[in-house]
Amino acid sequence: MDDQYLDAFIRESEEEITKLNNSLLELESDPENREAMDQIFRTAHTLKGNFGAMGFEGASNLAHAMEDLLDEMRDGNMSVTPEVMDLIFQGVDEIEAIVGQIESEGQANTDTSETVTQLRNVLEGGAEAAGGAAADSDTVEASADASSGSEFGADADLSSVDIDVDDVDRVAYVDVDLGDTDMPGVDTMFAMESVEEMFDILATDPDRTDIEDGDYEDTFGLYLDTDDLGRVDAELDSVGQISATAVEDVTDDIVSGIGSDGSSDAAAEDEHSVDEIKSVRVDVDQLDDLHGLVEQLVTSRIKLRRAVEDENMDSAEETLNELDKITGSLQNTVMDMRLIPLKKVVGKFPRMVRDLSRELGKEVDFEIEGEEIELDRTILTEISDPLMHIIRNSLDHGVEAPETRVENGKPPQGNVTLRASRERDHVVIQVEDDGAGLDVDGIKKTAIENDVRSADELEMMDNSEIYDLVFHPGFSTTNEVTDTSGRGVGMDVVHDTVTRLDGSVDVDSTPGEGTTVSLRLPVTMAIVKVLFVQVGNEEYGIPIKNVDEITRTDDIQQVNGREVIKQNDEIYPVVDLGGTFDVPGRKATDGGTEGGEMLVRIRESERQIALRCDAVNAQEEVVVKPLEGILSGTPGLSGTAVLGDGNIVHILDVVTL
């Protein structure tokens, strides 16, 4: 199959699935919404036709069954019940999984017959049959889960398996059968002691206390550290209390199942993940503009070549000026073509909120404002996961349970709003909830327990600074680990990602009224205007947007042994770039100046410092490439830029300098 047509099919299917999910949510909240019903029917019909045309019969049959059921609902012959909607959402999820499989493997191997049968049964038996179908579906899913990964039960909840894979050779899961025994607890205890003499027991299933009390079914499971899987069977055969064993290597399952904090949250995160944006829609007028600019570029190139051959420098200079204007327009056009509406990412969030709300037993009204605001494709892809983390936290920790809200004088239904607005060359995205707000005392207590801040430091901090502590890695005020959040991961990811994108994030909260998390991001990030400064034999770039003023070093003062300058009654510490980066041949030396140096004062909104350099050279627009590999995250540096003469210049990050 032609890759071009397959890619177009996948992209269109993804859009249709998002559209179908959101229309279904509208219908679920308002069963009388005729417009939503018509949109759902049209989308299901489109999916059915597209899958059929591409030869994916299983998916086409599933979409066809959904279309027939939706047709009955549209004609008023079928009620819109939660059970029916659950079954339809199940079908949508299966279709989405099939599209993902087609993208990764080029074909679909998923058997859709069972879901199709459930949908047909509801068509014949009415809405009442949907409850039974949903129950059957749950049973099937549970059975599938129980058999995945290991037929011996190695699919146990890995969130309780505290295993540092770096210190383990291989992880073997052993299903242990003691056979007939009159004293299962005693025999188990002796068996465990014997096993422990041979192997390190990493974890047990069920809990070890239950095992040694004899509180387990016919068999129990052990996770063992071993360098030789074949040795496990042989060694355990020598244990008198053990009648039979079955061994499986589950190292890969453990590695893939454990999250960054050692918890098995991969499945929960992937369930509502947002894929990388791999295609954009371009307006025909933009293509025409691009074509016209390329024509001008070709013409100017020919003129420049002739001017150089004729050694006509006046004509060459004039042509270079033309090229400067053309490339500037070309740059703006291409950057505009990379801009994508926010709805490309947030379109999947309403479905995520619906599923998580039901899982948590909460009532939540989720609204999106400003979804037409545009961002660069790269930035939009990067912030999808941070936004998802924030919304999950709002649902789990922010919005209270319905009964709690009623007790506090609130309506049972909570509100979560994702709002986007444009501020010049930045976009501000806010996630606001009307929940319980952040617990300042709880944050302080956690900060002290985790040695994040001392009690004295916390006393000197205002509430906004205390709220920012939630971005500290592993920081969590909840004691309960759930599939939604509470593992101490998420908000640090938000902070790191937004900072890497040259943005900022802050939290505002009012106890009892709610919390707002605000992300401020640049619209584009590839091309930046920078100020070039000379430091010894090296040159550095400072983003112009960070620069407030350039002066000489005449006003430097000494305060407590530290060099500072005073500006509008504010004190700005002086950072010597030469000393910071240990630059050879620099004029400035620690603790003194030789005169002639320059100071670049940074905007107070970014950081209250002044940078000392040997000279200020020029300002220019450059393409900034982020640091990668071992250099990624280097304090004081945000990336590099290649100049016209081929030299590489480091771009400073004034916040981490």
* pLDDT tens digit sequence for 522-565: 887 667 788 999 998 889 999 888 888 898 887 888 888 888 88
- Is the pLDDT at 306 greater than 60, yes or no? yes
Q: Higher model confidence: residue 200 or residue 419?
A: 419
> Same domain, yes or no, for 70 and 48?
yes
> Same domain, yes or no, for 492 and 611?
no
pLDDT of residue 54: 84
> Same domain, yes or no, for 400 and 327?
no
Closest CA to 467 of 479, 480, 453: 453
> Same domain, yes or no, for 421 and 500?
yes
The CATH number that applies at residue 179 is: 3.30.70.1110
516 pLDDT tier (thresholds 50, 70, 90): very high
Hunting for tokens 């956690």 — which residue is that?
A: 446
- Is the pLDDT at 482 greater than 60, yes or no? no
> Same domain, yes or no, for 97 and 131?
yes
Most confident segment among 57-66, 480-489, 636-645: 57-66
The answer to whether position 44 is within a domain reads yes
pLDDT of residue 144: 35
Q: Higher model confidence: residue 390 or residue 241?
A: 390
Hey, what are 80's tokens?
């819109």
The answer to whether position 197 is within a domain reads yes
Within 228-301, strands assigned E span 244-249
The answer to whether position 274 is within a domain reads no
Mean pLDDT of the chain: 79
Residue % of the chain over a pLDDT of 70: 83
108 pLDDT tier (thresholds 50, 70, 90): confident
- Is the pLDDT at 23 greater than 70, yes or no? yes
Would you say 429 and 383 are in contact if contact means Cβ atoms under 8 Å apart? yes
The answer to whether position 110 is within a domain reads yes
pLDDT of residue 434: 93
The answer to whether position 152 is within a domain reads no
What is the domain extent for residue 352?
A: 343-522
Q: In degrees to the nearest 10, what's the CA dihedral of 166, 169, 175, 178? A: -120
Number of CB atoms found within 10 A of residue 654's CB:
19
The CATH number that applies at residue 518 is: 3.30.565.10
Q: Tell me the per-residue pLDDT of 417-431, one tens digit each, with 9 for 90 and over.
A: 999 998 877 899 999
> Same domain, yes or no, for 359 and 456?
yes
CB-based burial of residue 272 (10 Å sphere; 0-12 exposed, 13-18 middle, 19+ buried)?
A: middle
Q: Tell me the per-residue pLDDT of 578-620, one tens digit each, with 9 for 90 and over.
A: 888 888 876 655 444 455 788 999 988 778 899 999 999 888 8
> Same domain, yes or no, for 49 and 136?
yes
- Is the pLDDT at 197 greater than 60, yes or no? yes
Q: How many domains are contained in the chain?
A: 5
pLDDT mean over 227-245: 77
Would you say 556 and 562 are in contact if contact means Cβ atoms under 8 Å apart? no
Radius of gyration of the chain (CA): 31
Q: Which pTM was predicted?
A: 0.58
